[in-house]
A and B are shown apart, each in its own frame.
Chain A
Amino acid sequence: MTEALNHGDDNLVIAQRLAEWVSRGPDLETDIALGNIALDHLGVARALLAHASEAEGGNEDDLAMLRSEREFTSLLICEQPNGDFAQTIARQFLFDAYQLGLWEKLSTDLDATIAGVAGKALLEARYHFRFSSSWVIRLGDGTPESRRRMEEGLVLMWRFVGEMFDQSPDLRSDWDRRVDEVMTTATLHRPADGFQRRGGREGIHTEHLGHLLAEMQWMARAYPGATW
């Protein structure tokens, strides 16, 4: 069930980050878009965490709300702060490109539930990638200010790319091709690979995850077993 838990955590954490944009988006349309994408990730997270909990006991809510930072095995990129809009788009773009390959691969997984969730998530990931890459192009090939911010966002997120492929190195070449194609259209240069941060899959996180979980989990922890 490691697979269900790992990818469930990725989707839960990035959904929580995207939800922070709700009512704060640059305009109404992007606000709604980020909220919608967050919902898709949350739905995937629920399906995978429910599946993981079948094997390990408990339920999806306990896994989401009652585990501590060290027990989360999400990728470091998912927990990175939103920053400005370009930084959020950089994170989403790199992660969408990864999930496209991941879901395609998992859609033929031997575990029928994982295969089913992946097949569905793949259709949604295509929609997400179209949104994030269109913004990478618009900001990258836009004004000097939008270009500067897009470049900074990508440089900031690039140190978390290597970790995405530790367990599935076979996905890297397609990811490179996808990302390079969009960045070329956006007239952007690919950042140097440089030092790569790792540890998410082992529960060793950046300082940001703890704060994110504190906000996400406080109510479930303050009122144990509360229902609507």
Chain B
Amino acid sequence: MIAELLEQVKDPEIPVLTIADLGILRGFDVDGSKVTVTITPTYSGCPAMDMIKADIARVLEENGFSTTIRITYSPPWTTDMISREGKAKLEGIGIAPPTPVSEVRCPRCATGPARTVSEFGSTACKALMVCPNCREPFDLFKELR
């Protein structure tokens, strides 16, 4: 029940991914109608965290649970914690999943290695690449490990 409700909570900047796909949902405890959800931030400065916290509380409270959210920093989040399904979803919307920069392939035509345009991209978790074949610019989910 709680797990299914939490499935509805998406990353507001990459809405195909749930917080479980991203590996930022560390777990939850249920005590009657009280739920304690433990999450961990992706990048330290990720501005989406406040929205994710609010979304978790909203979804649970709409279903009659009172919610406490705990943030844990240990063990630190790495991109290895993104599920296999999450990585496939990223590729599906044209964002290359976390890969060492020299091995990145274009999510559209699978040509590699892509050229790095900028090691920093549109959000804290992305870098900007361009495909050597189809010339499509695309985001890479930065590898952090």
Q: Give me the interface of A with B, judged by CB distance under 8 Å.
A: 15, 28-29, 32-33, 35-44, 46-47, 112-113, 115-117, 119-124, 127, 130-131
A33–B118 CA distance with the chains assembled, in angstroms: 8
The reply on B72 being an interface residue by CB < 8 A is: yes
- Is there contact, CB below 8 Å, between B120 and A123? no
B144 adjacent to chain A (CB < 8 Å): yes
- Nearest CB on A from B82, distance (A): 14
Bound CA–CA A39/B47 (angstroms):
8
B43 and A47 within 8 A (CB): no
Residues B73 and A32 in contact, CB atoms below 8 Å apart: no
Pair A40/B44 contact, Cβ less than 8 Å: yes
**Chain B residues with Cβ under 8 A from A33's Cβ?**
118-120
Quick one: which of A32, A40, A113, A130 contacts B45, CB cutoff 8 A? A40
A119-B75, A123-B76, A123-B144 known; A44+B44 contact, CB < 8 A: yes
A116-B142 contact in complex given A29-B117, A36-B120, A39-B45, C-beta closer than 8 Å: no
A83 to B72, CA, bound (A): 37
Chain B: residues with Cβ within 8 Å of the partner, total of 24
The complex places the Cα of A32 from the Cα of B142 at a distance, in Å, of 14
Q: Please name all residues of chain A whose beta carbon is closer than 8 Å to the beta carbon of B144 when the two chains form the complex.
A: 123-124, 127
* Residues on A with beta carbons closer than 8 Å to the beta carbon of B43: 39-40, 43, 124
Other-chain contact of A127, B41, B47, B118, B142 (Cβ < 8 Å): B142
Residues of A with C-beta under 8 A to B145: 123
Q: Which of B44, B46, B75, B121 contacts A32 (CB 8 A)?
A: B121
Considering only CB atoms, which chain B residue lies closest to A115 in the complex? B74
Residue pairs across A and B with Cβ atoms less than 8 A apart, 19 shown, are: A15-B45, A28-B118, A29-B117, A29-B118, A32-B121, A32-B122, A38-B45, A40-B43, A40-B45, A41-B44, A42-B44, A44-B44, A44-B45, A113-B73, A117-B44, A119-B73, A120-B41, A120-B76, A123-B144
Interface string of B53-93 (1 = CB under 8 A from A): 00000000000000000001111111000000000000000
**Closest CB of chain A to B135's CB: distance in Å?**
18
Interface string of B101-129 (1 = CB under 8 A from A): 00000000000000001111110100010
* Contact assessment for A124 and B44 in the assembled complex, using a CB-CB cutoff below 8 Å: yes
Bound Cα distance A110, B145 (Å): 23
List residues of chain B with CB within 8 A of the CB of A43.
Answer: 41, 43-46
Given contacts A32-B118, A33-B118, A36-B124, contact A123 B45 (CB under 8 A): no
Measured CB to CB, the closest approach of chain B to A54, in angstroms, equals 12
Residues of B within 8 A of A119 (CB): 73-76
Distance in Å from the Cβ of A138 to the closest Cβ of chain B? 13
* Chain B residues whose C-beta falls within 8 Å of the C-beta of A44 in the assembled complex: 44-45
- Which A residue's beta carbon lies closest to that of B74? A116
Residues of A within 8 Å of B119, CB to CB, are 33, 127, 130-131
Within the assembled complex, what's the spacing in Å between the Cα atoms of A29 and B124? 13
What residues of A have a CB within 8 angstroms of the CB of B72 in the complex?
116
Residue of A nearest to B75 (CB): A119
